[in-house]
Chain A
Amino acid sequence: MTALAFQRSEKKILKPIEKLVYERPHSLDENHTHYCPGCTHGIAHRLIAEVLDELGLQEKAILVAPVGCAVLAYNYFDVDGAEAAHGRAPAMATGLKRVNPDSVVFTYQGDGDLASIGIAEVIHTAVRGENITVIFINNAIYGMTGGQMAPTTIPGQVTTSSPNGRDTAQTGYPMQIAELLSGLPGTAYSVRRSLHDTRHIIQAKKAIRTAFEAQLQELGFSIVELLSSCPTNWGMTPIKALDWARDNMIPQYPLGDYKVVDELKKKRRNR
């Protein structure tokens, strides 16, 4: 991972100098993840860890992991961490933050966890303007249990519990979480980004950074929804899955800033 560069010393002798251009972020642990090949959880983890490093938050951060594919996320970050009951991460994060107001608390939740069983907790956490950050992974399916329909499943999408495709007459319509939470006064920052290609990954990282900055400035609830792929349960190769995310998820879940409070806008202009 290191690049070698050579530089002439004053004594005109060639000396190798190591210039580090890429390494594991300090906020990531050395453990190998259990995620499927081609899954975008790894990218999301890395982006969060890079932001924690850059903002100097590793020593203050507390992760609340969900039930779902990321149930073991606390093994992959080198920060303090708890494992919540299914959907309850925002409530648990509330308890942690209220007694540790100087810490930086974030949840990492999938769409089954956040948008289905945990919808009440996340909404009321936003209602209270709780100073926590939520990283929301939307891959339109239940991953860990093997590919069932989620509230975010796209109309017509085939899953193991919607074998003929999601029928909106029977099961309703996809939940637009970033839009939904943007409507609450307690929300300081609610945006949607995608992890399907490099350009969008860079944009996602900027959003994650802003979300943590919102927490540091005590502006209220912040959430970044990340459109993600699930090659295993979508039944696609990793590359095809990224294309599917681009072609099918983005039209259903438009990328964009749904709520950015003025304090954050000013900061972005000054940067």
Chain B
Amino acid sequence: MAKELLKGNVAIAEAAIRAGCEAYFGYPITPQTEILEHLAKRMPELGRVFLQAESEVAAVNMVYGAACAGARVMTSSSSPGISLMQEGISYIASSEVPAVFVDVMRGGPGLGNIQPTQSDYNQVTKTAGHGDFHPIVLAPATIQEAIDLMALSFDLAEKYRTLVFMALDGAIGQMMEPAELPPMQEVRRERPSWALTGKQGRDHKNIVTSLYLGAEPLTKFNAKLQAKLAEIEANEIRYDELLTDDAQLLITAYGTAARVAQTAVKRLRQENIPVGLFRPITLWPFPTERLGQLAGRVPAFLSVEMNAGQMIHDVREAVGRTVTVDFLGQPGGVIPLPEEIEDKVRQMWLKLEAVA
């Protein structure tokens, strides 16, 4: 298929359809509403399920119900809406049913604003709900990547019977750029063996629950859940590297921040500053091991984020205490300028040269 000029949110919605998404439940919130609007039109046309819920609380529980039925199901929201969904997110994690969430992040805390930020990094990677679990979190930096990761989200959710988040800042949701959509996948009508369909002649009933009364059964269940998360950590880490081979200074950034950093890296290279970019694509599982390897020969890191410094803690854990990790970024809805990153890197480079 040919490239077309697509708005991020519309591209994500259409990519979900092309990935065979059977049902969508959601609630309007800026800056993700175009996802809901596109699906409101397209899903009924294709004989699929679209429903605008009365709240994010209801939406996530509709997703939970459809996921229990074994349907390819998703929702989308933005920061305050994700907070409201956290109850259902925790139940879904515990019930081990597959579901896909898109979080088009906006400014917080509270009602905050509708500017693009990456302020939900901790929320989606570490505190997506009560209890011990992590969703898989994918962070696209371009609209093409968002399209590609949408199909992957459903596949991973079903492979591991887990939650997958696609976390992007509002800029990627709202901007337009050329991208190519994949061919249409029809909705898969057969249901997995564990799904709630009514017994339909099965010799046993299927039950989906997150209730494990007593310490022993819940401990046992959590051990199983942790083993699954360890398997995901072993198999599903994704990242991208730009000019890391000879770099003496590495920027870590994802999403829109990574795109700005990429511009800065290219310009700084013209000044012969050996800087590279390390871009996590999975925010969870985080590419800890690869960053650790790089820290063996890279003495300084700069975490560029559109928040007050959230991913930086994962970077620090990966690279250890002997390596410098600086931060550039701010919460509130401001995208960093390439020049700001360049200035910061120059300062860091001067310090490194002075030490050498």
Which B50-85 residues have a C-beta within 8 angstroms of A? 51, 53-55, 57-59, 61-69, 71, 73
Question: Once the chains are docked, how many angstroms separate the CA of A84 from the CA of B94?
Answer: 12
Asked whether B206 is an interface residue with its Cβ less than 8 Å from the other chain, the reply is yes
Question: Once the chains are docked, how many angstroms separate the CA of A97 from the CA of B87?
Answer: 21
Are B206 and A98 closer than 8 Å at their CB atoms?
A: no
Are B51 and A98 closer than 8 Å at their CB atoms?
A: yes
Residues of A within 8 A of B49 (CB): 98-99
From known contacts A91-B61, A91-B65, A120-B58, infer whether A98 and B198 are also in contact, taking CB-CB under 8 Å.
no
* Cβ-neighbour of A95 out of B57, B66, B209, B211 (below 8 A): B66
Question: Once the chains are docked, how many angstroms separate the CA of A29 from the CA of B57?
Answer: 32
Are A64 and B65 closer than 8 Å at their CB atoms?
A: yes
Residues of A within 8 A of B51 (CB): 94, 98
Main secondary structure of the interface of A (DSSP, over half): mixed
Asked whether A80 is an interface residue with its Cβ less than 8 Å from the other chain, the reply is yes
Number of interface residues of B (CB under 8 A): 39
Q: Across the interface, name the chain B residue whose C-beta is closest to A91.
A: B61
Are A96 and B199 closer than 8 Å at their CB atoms?
A: no
Asked whether B2 is an interface residue with its Cβ less than 8 Å from the other chain, the reply is no
- Least CB distance from B349 to A in Å reads 52
Q: Across the interface, name the chain B residue whose C-beta is closest to A75.
A: B207
Interface centre among A64, A94, A98 (most CB of B within 10 A): A98
Asked whether B22 is an interface residue with its Cβ less than 8 Å from the other chain, the reply is yes
Q: Across the interface, name the chain B residue whose C-beta is closest to A67.
A: B211
Encode A142-164 as 1/0 by CB contact (under 8 A) with B: 00000000000000000000000
Give the contact-size bracket for chain A.
Answer: 35 or more
Q: Across the interface, name the chain A residue whose C-beta is closest to B213.
A: A72
Which B189-228 residues have a C-beta within 8 angstroms of A? 196-201, 205-211
Residues of A within 8 A of B71 (CB): 99
Asked whether A7 is an interface residue with its Cβ less than 8 Å from the other chain, the reply is no
Asked whether B88 is an interface residue with its Cβ less than 8 Å from the other chain, the reply is yes
* Cβ-neighbour of A98 out of B61, B66, B87, B208 (below 8 A): B66
- Least CB distance from B28 to A in Å reads 15
Encode A54-96 as 1/0 by CB contact (under 8 A) with B: 0000111110110000011010011111111100100111111
From known contacts A91-B53, A95-B73, A99-B49, infer whether A80 and B62 are also in contact, taking CB-CB under 8 Å.
no
Question: Once the chains are docked, how many angstroms separate the CA of A99 from the CA of B23?
Answer: 7
Residues of A within 8 A of B209 (CB): 65, 74, 81-83
Question: Once the chains are docked, how many angstroms separate the CA of A256 from the CA of B45?
Answer: 42
Which A residues have a C-beta under 8 Å from some C-beta of B? 29, 58-62, 64-65, 71-72, 74, 77-85, 88, 91-100, 102-104, 120-121, 124, 127
Give me 12 A-to-B residue pairs in the complex whose CB atoms sit less than 8 angstroms apart, sorted by A's number.
A80-B205, A81-B205, A81-B206, A82-B95, A84-B91, A88-B88, A91-B64, A93-B65, A95-B64, A95-B69, A96-B65, A99-B69
